Amino acid sequence: MKISAHIVFWLSLIFAGLCIAYVVFGLGNIDPDLTATQREDVAGYRVFWLCLAGFGVVMAIVSWFMMRGKIRGPDDPNDT
């Protein structure tokens, strides 16, 4: 199945945006009565979701380069 770089670009940006929104809104409103261990767990989840957002941004950048012709796909007919 082939997916165009344009579709991957937009889906990656949407994915990164959702991950960042989850960090800000989902994990930003935590209960202040949590124990120290639970706060460390929340911080770990934040790092995990930020890493996923970073992955989405990197995929969007790679897709953007592919759309601009800076990176070619493995089955590109113009590849010589």
Domain presence at residue 78:
no
Domain presence at residue 74:
no
Domain presence at residue 30:
yes
For the segment 36-63, what is each residue's pLDDT rounded down to a tens digit? 888 888 888 889 999 999 999 999 999 9
Domain presence at residue 38:
yes
The structural domain count of the chain equals 1
SS (H, E, C) the chain: CCCCHHHHHHHHHHHHHHHHHHHHHHCCCCCCCCCHHHHHHHHHHHHHHHHHHHHHHHHHHHHHHHHHCCCCCCCCCCCC
Domain presence at residue 63:
yes
Domain presence at residue 40:
yes
Structure pTM? 0.77
Domain presence at residue 80:
no
Structural domain that includes position 25: 5-9+20-68
For the segment 22-34, what is each residue's pLDDT rounded down to a tens digit? 988 877 777 778 8
